[in-house]
């Protein structure tokens, strides 16, 4: 088996005559071929338990961040914006900070100046 360079691949792609450059092609609304990623993300988002997070991995510059950002923005469209959370020092157990739920925008009053 030998490694194939991109120059060795002869792809015959015929573009419509009105397509002169990529500037006339808009962004895709959906991510093609990402059904498994969507299922995994949905599974992670539905876990409503302490200590669980969603971790997205993959090769650099493949659109992971764009995919997740667009997907989440679309998912929360029309929903109420949640409140803010701040974490304060726990003198009884320094490894476990206390969390305080605040109305949206109120966390700024607790910022250090």
Taking only the tens place, the pLDDT of each residue in 59-70 is 888 888 988 998
Output the six-digit token pair for 87: 């974490």
Take residue 11 and report the two structure tokens written for it.
């792809």
**Which tens digit of pLDDT belongs to each residue from 48-59?**
898 888 999 888
Inter-helix orientation angle 35-46/64-76, to 10°? 60
What percent of the chain has a predicted confidence (pLDDT) above 90? 23
pLDDT at 31 over 80: no
30 neighbors 63 (Cβ within 8 angstroms): no
Show the tokens assigned to 38: 């969507």
pTM: 0.52
Give residue for tokens 């498994």. Answer: 36
């Amino acid at each position: 088996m030998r490694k194939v360079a991109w120059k060795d691949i002869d792809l015959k792609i015929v573009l419509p005559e009105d397509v002169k450059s990529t500037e006339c092609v808009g962004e895709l609304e959906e991510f093609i071929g990402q059904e498994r990623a969507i299922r995994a993300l949905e599974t992670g988002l539905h876990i409503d338990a302490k200590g669980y997070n969603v971790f997205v991995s993959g090769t650099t510059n493949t659109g992971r961040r764009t995919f997740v950002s667009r997907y989440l923005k679309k998912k929360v469209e029309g929903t109420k914006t949640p409140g803010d959370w701040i974490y304060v020092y726990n003198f009884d157990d320094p490894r476990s900070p206390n969390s305080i739920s605040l109305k949206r925008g109120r966390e700024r009053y607790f910022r250090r100046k």
